[in-house]
Amino acid sequence: MEAAGPGPELSAAWHALSTGLVPPAALGLAAPRSSSVELLKDSDLRAAVEVLQRYDLHSVLEEWFTEVLQTDLQANIAPEFWNCIGQYENTAEEPQCSLLLLDAFCLLKCRLDPYLNSLDLLEKWTKMGLLLGTGSQMLREKVYTMFKAILFFTTTKTFQEMIQQFYSRTFKIYMRQWKKGEDRMNACESSMSENEQESDMEDGGGDGLQCMGCSSKKEQCWCPTAMEQFQQLNEILHRLNLLERVSANAVTTILHKMIEERMERRCRGEYEHSFLNEFQEWIEKVIGWLSRVFLQDSPMAHSTPEASSTLKRWRCHVQRFFYRIYASMRIEELFSIIRDFPESKPAVEDLKFCLERTNQRQQLLSSLKSALEMRLLHPGVNTSDIITLYISAIKALRELDPSMVILEVACEPIRKYLRTREDTVRQIVAGLTGDAEGSGDLANELSKADPVTLENGQESDDDISEPEDWLPDPVDADPGKLSSKRRSSDIISLLVSIYGSKDLFINEYRTLLADRLLHQFNYSAEREIRNVELLKLRFGEAQMHYCEVMLKDMADSRRINTNIRDEEEKLPEEERPPFSLVAVILSSEFWPPLKEEKLELPEQIKEAMEAYSKKYEKLKQPVALCGRRHLCSCPFNQTLSRGGGSKLLLLCVEMRGSHLCEASCMDLPSLLRARQSRDQTLVRPKRQFVGCLLAEASPAQWQWFNRRGDFIHMWQTWGSCECGCSRIDFTQLRAA
């Protein structure tokens, strides 16, 4: 007899494999899959594979398996699954919708489990060398890709709503029930911190009759059921490798929404304490929920390296999203944070921490520049307010970015705008000397006595920084400027560098110092001496030399006046001058230019000044004095019988009043001719006299005024009362 051919043996082997690896329905067979397949797995199925191997047909098994799976998915499994999901539209209650979603995925798992079991066998045979194909890992990835492509390439809006609602509810339940043990799910009421209780009140879920987890009445609470369904659904999705494909968008949306809402509630407008630690603790709760999603915290499923890697990736995603959103909120509020600095220092430190982990420097620069131009740099804001905020910006942005690059770039519009203001230098100098309102910051900076540094130095970064302390500049730094100069610049140096020169500030201070020294009735200059010494440390002794000479003039004037007065005291009573003259001797080459004004003094004053000059020339030969008559001043007092007061006026006021004493009435042109002065020099003195001593008898004519029978006494005191000068009564008028 002839030997039988390979047909029967090969046919039997193929029949065993085809009916054992795929469901009968996938092959068009009505009979259900036999329950004895698992018993054949190690014997008959392996023997059948060996038969295929002998005839070199084992390589087609993988291709056949994937083709049958694809056909079954497209023709049967996918339509059945989506028909089940479609029943959602007829379901109104949320618990029923959650159960429907779970049933649909349970059905899907039931249909795909036979293929997954067969996939395990194919991988095993491939590792044993019985099959030739793409390899065990490649085959599994191909099958999972087929699941995703055929079942969930496009999803319906109904399905997306179901997934979103399901994960939102379970997230809320988990966060409400979380205490210290994350596995306690027995009670609907959660033990929460004070911050979370505040959040509950804001969410509107704390009326006492409603479960704050599932939002149902407490007697109808289904929180435990929801968490069981949550666990079951995640296990199914994990088994089918569909977890991220199905739930990733919903989980991402939920986490983003919850983080944004909590941040708006807790952090918006609050700058005086840090929120990073609080949010890190809250994010750990969120990670606990994610660990349940990805089965890292489930006793029913074994943790896999893939799932662990996925959880780490989600942890990084949540943290990065929080840093980005928190940084965006603080960037939006940065103008207010700068304005409130240093009280807002915790917010600046939080922003710095987030910026180091996100790429938002350009966002910060553009946002801050826009806020400054809109809210600060316009004509409605005083120069002093602009300088004050610029100083706060220097402090805050230095804390935010020690490299000072953000300050340099973002605050350049402030520097340009301040250069257009005429009173910028004057306001800065007034702040340095403590004359401006709210100038404590600049005055304190001046007392630090650090030298002013400008950007025109020649030293390099290598000469200044220690090698181990060197840090590279950010990519947005200006390569033309030394980082060491930028980092070492203090507030005063940055203000001075607005103009790029110290001379403007030195000259402005000289003018301010001259005004102070010439408008006081004594030689006290302790405050000015202190300021000059501090400015010398800042700007250098050479720059402040003229100011030192001005202060020396005041000291010399005190000494000279004391000597002259001592000489006068030695004279007999009849030879002494009728009043004492106290003078300030200026070294004209070192003082700022003084405005010239022509003024004719009374003869008595002229004689006193000439006598004083002669006495000075005896002491300081051959130096001669040149009088500045329009700068003379003296105390002026007026007394009324029914009330009194005192005024301190320029000497020209009393001179004009003295000239009026010579005639009962004099018009304005006559007074101008007598005093050889311009009209505007009489405007302020005229206002001081009107209603007190003078009355306008007719247009431009003035005479002594008697107010309702009051007695008017006027006397003038020449010199300083502190120096013991005598009081001389020039006029005493009485009106009937």
| Maximum mean pLDDT: which of 124-133, 671-680, 721-730 | 124-133
Using pLDDT thresholds of 50, 70 and 90, give the confidence band for residue 528: confident
- 246 φ/ψ angles, rounded to the nearest 5 degrees: -85, -45
Give the CA angle between residues 454, 489, 463 to the nearest 5°: 80
Model pLDDT, residue 633: 56
CA dihedral 607, 613, 615, 616 (to 10 degrees): 160
Using pLDDT thresholds of 50, 70 and 90, give the confidence band for residue 733: very low
Q: Is the pLDDT of residue 695 over 80?
A: no
pLDDT in tens, 610-625: 777 777 777 766 555 6
Under a CB-based contact definition with an 8 Å cutoff, are residues 351 and 330 in contact?
A: yes
Model pLDDT, residue 191: 43
Region 362-380: mean pLDDT is: 92
Q: Is the pLDDT of residue 685 over 50?
A: no
Under a CB-based contact definition with an 8 Å cutoff, are residues 288 and 178 in contact?
A: yes
CA distance 163 to 245: 11
Using pLDDT thresholds of 50, 70 and 90, give the confidence band for residue 393: very high
Could you say which DSSP state residue 210 is in? B
Using pLDDT thresholds of 50, 70 and 90, give the confidence band for residue 634: low
| Maximum mean pLDDT: which of 24-28, 510-514, 647-651 | 510-514
Q: Is the pLDDT of residue 490 over 60?
A: yes
> What residue segments make up the domains of the chain, in order of their start?
1-154, 333-456+476-501, 546-619, 632-733
Ramachandran category for residue 720: left, alpha or beta (phi over 0 → left; psi -120 to 50 → alpha): beta
Cis preceding-peptide flag for 622 (omega within 30 of 0): yes
Q: Is the pLDDT of residue 540 over 80?
A: yes
Rounded mean pLDDT of the chain? 73
- Of all residues in the chain, the percent with pLDDT exceeding 70 is 65
Model pLDDT, residue 530: 87
pLDDT in tens, 413-451: 999 999 998 888 888 888 887 766 655 677 777 777 566
E strands within 194-241? none
Could you say which DSSP state residue 304 is in? -
Region 185-190: mean pLDDT is: 41
Region 309-333: mean pLDDT is: 91
CA distance 646 to 207: 71
The residue among 117, 141, 137 whose CA lies nearest residue 127 is 137
Q: Is the pLDDT of residue 331 over 90?
A: yes
CA distance 560 to 563: 5
Under a CB-based contact definition with an 8 Å cutoff, are residues 315 and 287 in contact?
A: yes
User: Which own/partner contact pairs does 254-258 have at CB distance under 8 Å and 24+ positions apart?
Assistant: 254/164, 254/167, 254/168, 254/171, 255/286, 255/318, 255/321, 256/321, 256/325, 258/171, 258/286
Could you say which DSSP state residue 344 is in? T
Identity of the residue numbered 211: C
Identity of the residue numbered 709: G
CA distance 396 to 343: 10
Model pLDDT, residue 571: 78
Model pLDDT, residue 332: 95
Model pLDDT, residue 489: 65
Model pLDDT, residue 14: 79
Q: Is the pLDDT of residue 718 over 60?
A: no
Model pLDDT, residue 655: 42
SS3 694: strand
CA distance 717 to 246: 97
